Amino acid sequence: MTTIYLIRHGQASFGAASYDQLSPNGELQAKILGQYFDEILKEAPYVVAGSMQRHQQTASLALAARFPEANVLTDSSWNEFNHQQVFAQYEPRFNQLHLLKEDVAQHENPRAYLSKIFAGAIERWTGGEFHHEYDESWPDFKNRVETALQNLCNELAETKPRYAVVFTSGGVISVAAGKILGLSPEKTFALNWAIANTSMTTLRLTGNEPQLLSLNEHHFIKAADPSLLTWI
């Protein structure tokens, strides 16, 4: 019976010239995740990572100590949705993420304010009226992730590794969990907002059907250094 660990990437570089790279905090988070892998993975896992730089960097740093020779299968089906476009269609000036960062920083509770913007942007994206305005509509993203999950489960049901690890993003993990739990888009993305960097969501296969065992485990980050716990 295969246990699947869905890993959100380490903290990326929000507001920098390129979001798609780990921040110094993100690199530390990935290394701490690797230390936790040393405790829980008793043999080399089957490994998949999205093609985004933050996925690849997280995989490399997390596997370096215990499984440096691990074969990482790159699969863009596990990539995040285009969050910059989702923000920009909601508020055009947010097409430049540094402007969003500056706007958020001016508020007394930046995380709460960003959460409000995120909720509005997601509501527009998932609502149905504006699907044609996005390079990847909500139904297309949802279908992509659900197909990636089922393809993975089918592969693992055949090959039967003890462990599988997938390095991906919060939106992807939320859709995967939402599929298993039968959640609405609103509740799915409520999960998304809560998923911490380098957190672990655990699935177990029964045949080729995934069961959700845990969601958003991040105790290993908090135990190592509470200041490293991030969600953005």
pTM: 0.93
Looking at residue 15, its pLDDT comes to 58
Measuring CA to CA, which residue among 195, 193, 190 is closest to residue 218?
Answer: 195
Cα distance between residue 96 and residue 99, in whole Å: 6
Task: Give the pair of three-digit tokens for residue 126.
Answer: 């998932």
Share of the chain above pLDDT 70, in %: 98
pLDDT tens per residue across span 5-28: 999 999 998 655 667 899 999 999
Looking at residue 17, its pLDDT comes to 60
Measuring CA to CA, which residue among 205, 203, 202 is closest to residue 220?
Answer: 202
Measuring CA to CA, which residue among 4, 24, 8 is closest to residue 59?
Answer: 8
Which of the 8 DSSP states describes residue 130? T
pLDDT tens per residue across span 111-165: 788 888 888 999 999 998 999 999 999 999 999 999 999 999 999 999 999 999 9
Looking at residue 7, its pLDDT comes to 99
CA dihedral for 127, 133, 134, 139, sign (positive or negative) = positive
Looking at residue 151, its pLDDT comes to 98
Looking at residue 37, its pLDDT comes to 98
Instruction: Name the residue ranges covered by the structural domains of the chain.
Output: 3-80+139-228, 82-135
Looking at residue 20, its pLDDT comes to 86
Q: CATH for 3-80+139-228?
A: 3.40.50.1240
pLDDT at 95 over 80: no
Query: What mean pLDDT do residues 184-207 have?
Result: 94
Looking at residue 91, its pLDDT comes to 87
Rg (the chain; Cα; Å): 17
Looking at residue 14, its pLDDT comes to 67
Q: Contact, 181 vs 206, CB < 8 A? A: no
User: What stretches of the chain show up as alpha helix (H) in DSSP?
Assistant: 24-40, 53-63, 83-90, 97-105, 110-126, 138-159, 170-181, 185-194, 219-224
Half-sphere exposure of 163 (CA within 13 A, CB side): 17
